[in-house]
Amino acid sequence: MKLRRRSFLQLLTGVAALSAVAGVAFALDYPTRPVQMIVDIPAGLAPDVGARLIGPPLSARLGQSVIIENKPGAGGNVGAEIVVRAPPDGYTLLMMISGNAASGALHPHLTFNFVRDIAAVAFVGYTPFAMTVPVSFPAKTVPEFIAYAKSHPGTINFASGGVGTAPHLAGELFKQMAGVDLVHVPYTSSYMPDLLAGRVQVTFAPIATSLANVKAGKLRALAVTGTTRSDILPDVPPVAEFVKGYEASVWHGVGAPKGTAADIVNKLSRDIGAVIADPAVKAQLAGLGAEPMPMTPGEFGKFIAEEVKKWANVVKLAGLKPV
């Protein structure tokens, strides 16, 4: 029996409506099984610790286990690609880090696009760096440092944990914005002994890395790299007070495969926001030097796009290549 055209169209409309209702029902039931959160860096680093701090309270809110799994490699691209290729059903999440925003510029042959292929879910927090020098270094302020660097071009070494890492990019941004010539020295192990001895003269690194030596008077924190002063180093000014517009904090947040249902994204965003607003979790994050900052998924997505553009420009101007 042949269906009339109108009847056929009505049937198609009905099927589409049922599919939409089923999709909404599926999303509203979320989650019905454990959720995996991929961390694309090794265990023990601040974003990994942050993921493990929010995991248990997020599990309690979701009513399902949140399993943290480290998938480091290729500058964070191994873990990111796992999430990009996962079904967009909310069961595979990524603990994103600021380094992901620079990956496309550093690795131009990636098979995915971070902005296009990852849906922003929730911003967890940012961690400002400390611009730190040995106490033997003659400059005691950022203006003095800039003046010294300009009068001694190419003689100041700045240390980082490797090419393309967030501390390296923070130093490159400072070079570009302050107009100074610093020599980057990448380390595969700790650079702290050389910094303390004055063999390298400056670093831009998470505050927690140098805090004990700053408090012991072995290192001098000239500035922090956030836009405001840090609660951990309240007497230390931000670089932006002297270099207008400078900001280079490391950040981390949660993402999902693009195409994940909006109500799943919004639920995760609300629940993660509630977790990081809890005073106990907030205090634990503060202990890592992380400062929570709530954002909607839309705000976070816009923030990521701006970060990608910003660091791509830094990478291009510095002529950086992955090693």
Do 108 and 43 have their domain in common?
Answer: yes
- 9: pLDDT strictly greater than 80: no
3 domain residue, yes or no: no
Domain boundary among 192, 207, 241: 241
25 domain residue, yes or no: no
Do 171 and 156 have their domain in common?
Answer: yes
Between 165 and 213, the more confident residue is 213
195 domain residue, yes or no: yes
Domain count across the chain: 2
202 domain residue, yes or no: yes
Do 262 and 226 have their domain in common?
Answer: no
Position 57 scores a pLDDT of: 97
Do 56 and 203 have their domain in common?
Answer: no
Do 105 and 56 have their domain in common?
Answer: yes
Report helix, strand or coil for 187. Answer: coil
Do 185 and 273 have their domain in common?
Answer: no
Q: Is 68 exposed, middle or buried (0-12, 13-18, 19+ CB in 10 A)?
A: middle
CATH at residue 261: 3.40.190.150
Domain boundary among 223, 241, 259: 241
CATH at residue 140: 3.40.190.10
Domain boundary among 199, 217, 241: 241
196 domain residue, yes or no: yes
Most confident of 34-38, 47-51, 109-113: 34-38
Q: Which of 11-15, 102-106, 257-261 has the lowest mean pLDDT?
A: 11-15
Q: Is the Cβ–Cβ distance between 92 and 57 less than 8 Å?
A: no
208 domain residue, yes or no: yes
Q: How would residue 27 be classed by pLDDT, with cut points 50, 70 and 90?
A: low
**How far, in Å, are 59, 102, 271 from residue 33 at the CA level?**
11, 33, 17
Give this prediction's pTM: 0.85
For the four alpha carbons of 179, 180, 186 and 190, in that order, the dihedral sign comes to: negative
Do 171 and 221 have their domain in common?
Answer: yes
* Structure confidence by residue, pLDDT tens digits, 178-210: 999 999 999 989 999 999 999 999 999 888 889
| Residues facing 97 on adjacent strands | 252
65 domain residue, yes or no: yes
Q: Structural domain of residue 102, as residue ranges?
A: 33-127+250-318
